[in-house]
A = this chain, B = another copy of it.
């Protein structure tokens, strides 16, 4: 059994590393910081995980698994394209709300051109697959209205709120993490999805 699954020292270190890496990035966190937050000694970090880069990979892997699981069932079920798209959006938003630290971490590492990029790409590839499956009969295979363009657009829309809004602070007015603010954002994203579907419908009628 994986010793990081239960409540031992390794699990506490992994959780602490998760929070700190997400908050300050790979380079901004030291093994001492992680040990302190975990309530362990620094040497214990190296005993359980070998090195700082290895610990970071473990953090990424753990989240990747959670992300894949969250999206797995949401989009595969019954319903037409519109219903499945809205379910996928909700699943993505749910996951983003429950794993804010992860969203920041991924955003951080992608922006940094991280050496751990291959791990991140696996997660994105899965999501692109889902979107392509849903949009397959609504959009052209290539060009400005292809599935990959919409995938990138929706990723940006969801991530922007999760990562940017808290940083906007006074610019945004209210705390973006409050329930009311989240509900408003969710309504916005669903409205956008419907507006784009209506636009695609117009394109199909025209053709």
Please report A residues at the B interface, Cβ cutoff 8 Å: 23-28, 104-105, 107-108, 110-113, 117, 120-121, 124-125, 128, 143-145, 148-149, 152-153, 155-161, 163-165, 167-169, 171-173, 184-185, 187-189, 191-192, 194-196, 198-199, 202
Residues of B within 8 A of A155 (CB): 160, 164
Residues of B within 8 A of A144 (CB): 184-185, 187-188, 191
Q: Are A143 and B184 in contact (CB under 8 A)?
A: yes
16 A-B pairs with CB atoms under 8 Å apart are A27-B27, A108-B108, A111-B163, A113-B167, A117-B167, A117-B169, A125-B171, A143-B187, A152-B160, A152-B165, A153-B192, A194-B199, A195-B195, A195-B199, A196-B196, A198-B199
Known interface pairs A27-B28, A196-B195; A110-B188 also in contact (CB < 8 Å) = no
Q: Are A191 and B199 in contact (CB under 8 A)?
A: yes
Q: Are A121 and B168 in contact (CB under 8 A)?
A: yes
Copies in the complex: 2
* Chain B residue at minimal CB-CB distance from A159: B156
A155 vs B157: C-alpha distance when bound (angstroms): 8
Residue with the highest number of chain B CB atoms closer than 10 Å, among A104, A112, A198: A112
Q: Are B28 and A112 in contact (CB under 8 A)?
A: yes
Q: Are B128 and A171 in contact (CB under 8 A)?
A: yes
Query: Chain B's nearest CB lies how many Å from the CB of A37?
Result: 15
A93 vs B111: C-alpha distance when bound (angstroms): 17
Query: Chain B's nearest CB lies how many Å from the CB of A77?
Result: 25
Query: Chain B's nearest CB lies how many Å from the CB of A42?
Result: 18
A104 vs B155: C-alpha distance when bound (angstroms): 16
* Chain B residue at minimal CB-CB distance from A186: B144
A135 vs B113: C-alpha distance when bound (angstroms): 35
* Chain B residue at minimal CB-CB distance from A163: B111
